[in-house]
Chain A
C-alpha cells in the first residue's frame, strides 16, 4: 500500500477545497488535493445566480446589512461571530476572485455588476438590495474554473479520482486519511499534519434534488463513524424553484431579475406570505408557501407545481405596478439567464421567453454538517474543543453562518471565505506542528468493509435500496415534519440498513473503476446521514427556518437557541449496522452581534 506524506491534504476539490489549497500553498505548505472527481466536475460549478458581497457598486450597501439579513434568514440560529466574518470578508474575497481573473459581468462604470437575490436587503430589511455579484447565471462555474486555473498556476498537487473512505486518528489528533484510487482499486494512505474535509453536501438522501449524483455525504459519514459529532443535521434546505419532475435548479436570480411565482389562477401568491419583498423572501418561506398553495389545490391544473414567470410582459407589468422605472426585454433575459433558458429548453421543451416554467421545491443544501469554528478547525463538543489536525469548510461544514436556513448566494460566500481562512490557518499550523506517526494497519477496518461489500451476493441492488430510502426521506423528513411520521421514516431507514448489511447484491467483482461497489459504499454514507437527519429532526421540538414541524408550529427561543450535536453512541465504526445515536442539545448559539446591537435579537421573521 502506498503512503503519501504532505503537510496538508485537502479532501474535495470544489470551491472550498480549492480555495484552501491555494491559500495553504501560498502560505508555504506542501499541499495535496484528493478528490473523487476531476476538480472541474465538482458541484460548485452548478451554482448559478451569484455571490453576495456588500460592494455597493449599484446602490448603497454595507456588510452590517448583509449580517442582519443572514442572521434573520437563518432564523436566529446562526453563530453571529461566523456571520460577521462571512459578511465582512465577502467583500475582500470577491475582489480577490476578480484579481484571479474571474470574468464578472460589469456595471456601466466597469465595476462588478450586482443583482437582487432572496432575503438580501438594505437598511435592516427595508427593501431588496443589489448584492449578488454575477457572471451571467453561471457564477459557480466561473468560480470553480478560476480557482482550478490558479491551483494549476501554483502547481498544487492533485490526486484526481481518489475516494477518501476513512480518517486516521492517533494520539488524540487526526493524522491522515485512507483513499481508494478509483482507476485501480488500490488503497492509499495520506499522512498529513493537517487534513481538511471539503466534500460538499448530501442532496441524494432525497428523491427530488438539485444535487449531483456524487453528493452522498461521504465526508461527514466517514467522520461520524469515527466518533465526531455532526451539527444541526435537521436543517436541510429545499430550494423553491426546482424544475418540476426533475429537481434541476432554476436560479433564484430569475426572481432577482423580476420573475414572479404564480398559482393556478394566475395569482402572485407570495404577496400574501411576504407582503414586503414577496417572491424574494428567504427560501424556507417560499418553499413552504408553494407547498401550502399546492395543498390548497392551487397548483397548476391542481397538480404539484406552480409557475415561475420571467416573460418580459409579466415582469414589466409588475415593475410598472411597483412604480419602478426599469424594464426588461428578451435580449436582456437571454444574456443574463442563459443557463435557465438552456435548461428549460433542453429538458422540458419549454421556452421561458414565451411560457412560464413549472417549478416545485427541490432538496438543495445542507445547513448542518461537520462543526467548526471560524478558523475552519473542527470542534467536537459544546465547549468548542478543537480536534487537532482536522479542518472542514464549505457545504460539508457547519460553522454555522447559515443557521436554520441559508440565504441565496451565501453558499459561494461561505466556501470562498472559510476555504480561504482555513487555508491560511493550515499554512501557519503546519509550520509549527510535527507529523504524528500513523498507527499500525490504519486501513485494515475499511478494507474489510469494502471486501464485505464487494462479496455481497444477496438479492438487493444498491440502486433499489437507495431509491426506497430517497422516497421515504422525501415523504417523511421533507419540508413539513411530524413526529409519528418521522418515526416511520426511521423504521424504514433501519430496515434498509438491515438489508444493506445482509441482503446486498454487487455484480462487479473487479478492481478497475468498480462504480458498482463505490455506489454501494456511498449508499452506506447516505443511510448514516438519513438516520442522523431524522433523529435530529425528531429531537428539535419547535419550528425554525427549514425545520418546520406540524406538531410544534412555533419557534421556541427559550429552549432552542442551541445547536444539535448528534453522534454515534457505540464509537465502533465497523461493521456499521444501525448505530444507536446520542443527541446533545447544550451547545449555545453565539450571539455576539446581538450583545452590541439589539437589532440582531430574535424577533418574529416577516418579509
Chain B
C-alpha cells in the first residue's frame, strides 16, 4: 500500500532558518512495518538530509520519541497499522529543536539529575560479603518505575511542562519514585524535599497525558500520585498497597 508522511522539517544549515512541512510518499508499505523503518526508507531512498535519532529499533533504548499524528510515541514501537496511511511526524514538544526531529535533550537530563537519580546507602555491606536482602514484595514496589528508559515521551506530552520548562516533569518524578520507594535506599527524605519545591511534583495537575504517552506502559500518573502522598506523609512507608500494583498481563 501507499503511505504519505508529512514531516516537520528544520534545516538550520541550509540557510533556511524557518521550520516547514514536507511530504514524502512511500510505496509497498505493509501494515506491520514500523514507522521508524519507513522514516529510514525516506532517508535511505529519497532524502539523506532527513535527520532523527534512533538506535535499538526495538523500544528499549529510548532514542526515537516523536510526535506521531499528534501523540508521543517511539517510532520503532508504532506499526503502520496503528497509525494509518497519512502520517504526520513532528519533534517532541517543549525542548528546543536542533534539526528536523532532533531536539536538545540537555534540559531533560538536567531535570533528571536534579532528583538524585542514584542509589544511596552508606551502611557497611553485609558481613558475609553477600548481597543485601530484600523481599520480592518490596522489590515489586519499584518494578514499574524501574522500567523507565528516559525517552522523554511523558515529559514532552505534559502541558504543565510546556507551560514551564523549569518543572522537573513526569520522567524525573518516575526516576525519583524508583529510589524513594526502594526499601534499600536511604535518601528518600532528600528527594522528597527536592520534589516538594515549587518546580517539583506540585506542578503536576493530573492531566494524565503522560501515562498513555509512556511506551513502556508505566503508570506514570499513579507514580506521581504516590510521590505526592510520600511528601504529604513525610515518608514513603505504607503508601503503596502491594495488592494494587499494576501488572502487564
- Residues in chain A within 8 A of chain B (CB atoms): 37-38, 40-43, 45-46, 94-95, 98-101, 103-113, 135-136, 138, 141-142, 145-146, 149-150, 152-153, 183, 212-214, 248-249, 330-331, 334-335, 338-339, 341-343, 346-349, 461-464, 467, 505-516
CA distance A37 to B117 in the complex (A): 20
CA distance A330 to B136 in the complex (A): 18
Q: Which residues of A are found within 8 Å of B130, using beta-carbon distances? A: 95, 111
B131 at the interface (CB under 8 A from A): yes
Q: Which residues of A are found within 8 Å of B133, using beta-carbon distances? A: 106, 109-111
**Given A106-B135, A149-B117, A464-B44: A346 and B55 within 8 A (CB)?**
no
**Given A95-B131, A334-B249, A347-B79: A513 and B57 within 8 A (CB)?**
no
Q: Which residues of A are found within 8 Å of B12, using beta-carbon distances? A: 510, 512
Q: How far is the CB of B75 from chain A (nearest CB, A)?
A: 12
B56 at the interface (CB under 8 A from A): yes
CA distance A142 to B51 in the complex (A): 29
Find the A residue at minimum CB distance from B100. A513
Report yes or no: B149 in contact with A40, Cβ–Cβ below 8 A.
yes
Report yes or no: A213 in contact with B54, Cβ–Cβ below 8 A.
yes
Q: Which residues of A are found within 8 Å of B248, using beta-carbon distances? A: 334, 338, 341-342
Report yes or no: B59 in contact with A99, Cβ–Cβ below 8 A.
no
Report yes or no: B182 in contact with A103, Cβ–Cβ below 8 A.
yes
B60 at the interface (CB under 8 A from A): yes
CA distance A426 to B60 in the complex (A): 31
Report yes or no: A101 in contact with B13, Cβ–Cβ below 8 A.
no
**Given A101-B185, A342-B248, A347-B79: A509 and B13 within 8 A (CB)?**
yes
Q: How far is the CB of A121 from chain B (nearest CB, A)?
A: 23
Report yes or no: A103 in contact with B132, Cβ–Cβ below 8 A.
no
Report yes or no: A40 in contact with B62, Cβ–Cβ below 8 A.
yes
**Could you mark each residue 106-136 of chain B with 1 if its beta carbon is under 8 Å from any beta carbon of chain A, else 0?**
0001000100011111000100011111111
B244 at the interface (CB under 8 A from A): no
B232 at the interface (CB under 8 A from A): no
Find the A residue at minimum CB distance from B59. A346
Interface size range of chain B in the complex: 35 or more
Report yes or no: B98 in contact with A41, Cβ–Cβ below 8 A.
no
Pick the 8 closest A-B CB pairs, nearest first. A101-B119, A463-B44, A510-B13, A507-B48, A110-B133, A334-B249, A516-B48, A149-B118
Report yes or no: A150 in contact with B118, Cβ–Cβ below 8 A.
yes
| CB-contacts of B81-99 with A (<8 A) | 98-99
Q: Which residues of B are found within 8 Å of A467, using beta-carbon distances? A: 44
B233 at the interface (CB under 8 A from A): no
29 pairs of residues in contact across A and B, judged by CB atoms under 8 Å:
A37-B61, A99-B125, A101-B179, A106-B133, A106-B136, A108-B136, A111-B133, A112-B131, A138-B60, A141-B147, A152-B117, A212-B57, A213-B56, A248-B57, A248-B58, A249-B58, A334-B248, A335-B249, A343-B58, A346-B59, A346-B77, A346-B79, A347-B79, A348-B32, A463-B44, A510-B13, A510-B49, A512-B12, A514-B51
CA distance A486 to B84 in the complex (A): 43
Q: Which residues of A are found within 8 Å of B109, using beta-carbon distances? A: 38
Q: How far is the CB of B145 from chain A (nearest CB, A)?
A: 10
**Given A183-B98, A212-B55, A330-B249: A506 and B48 within 8 A (CB)?**
yes
| CB-contacts of B5-64 with A (<8 A) | 11-14, 32, 34, 40, 43-45, 47-49, 51-63
CA distance A99 to B113 in the complex (A): 20
Report yes or no: A141 in contact with B149, Cβ–Cβ below 8 A.
yes
Chain B interface mostly: loop
Report yes or no: B182 in contact with A335, Cβ–Cβ below 8 A.
no
Q: Which residues of B are found within 8 Å of A46, using beta-carbon distances? A: 56, 58, 60-61
Report yes or no: B143 in contact with A136, Cβ–Cβ below 8 A.
yes
**Given A40-B61, A41-B61: A212 and B13 within 8 A (CB)?**
no
Q: How far is the CB of A57 from chain B (nearest CB, A)?
A: 9
**Given A37-B63, A331-B249, A334-B249: A101 and B118 within 8 A (CB)?**
yes
Q: Which residues of A are found within 8 Å of B132, using beta-carbon distances? A: 98-99
Find the A residue at minimum CB distance from B113. A152
Q: Which residues of B are found within 8 Å of A105, using beta-carbon distances? A: 136, 139
Report yes or no: B118 in contact with A513, Cβ–Cβ below 8 A.
no
Report yes or no: A510 in contact with B14, Cβ–Cβ below 8 A.
yes
Question: Which one of A100, A138, A153, A346 has the highest number of Cβ atoms from chain B below 10 Å of its Cβ?
Answer: A346
Report yes or no: A461 in contact with B44, Cβ–Cβ below 8 A.
yes
Sample of 13 more A-B contacts, CB < 8 Å, known A38-B105, A101-B118, A141-B149: A99-B132, A101-B119, A101-B182, A101-B184, A106-B139, A111-B130, A149-B118, A212-B61, A213-B55, A338-B248, A343-B58, A510-B49, A512-B13
**Given A99-B131, A106-B134, A510-B14: A45 and B61 within 8 A (CB)?**
yes
Q: How far is the CB of B32 from chain A (nearest CB, A)?
A: 7
Find the B residue at minimum CB distance from A149. B118
B4 at the interface (CB under 8 A from A): no
**Could you mark each residue 179-208 of chain B with 1 if its beta carbon is under 8 Å from any beta carbon of chain A, else 0?**
100101100000000000000000000000
CA distance A38 to B58 in the complex (A): 17
Q: Which residues of B are found within 8 Å of A100, using beta-carbon distances? A: 119
CA distance A510 to B16 in the complex (A): 12
Report yes or no: B142 in contact with A103, Cβ–Cβ below 8 A.
yes
CA distance A145 to B60 in the complex (A): 12
Q: Which residues of A are found within 8 Å of B57, using beta-carbon distances? A: 212-213, 248
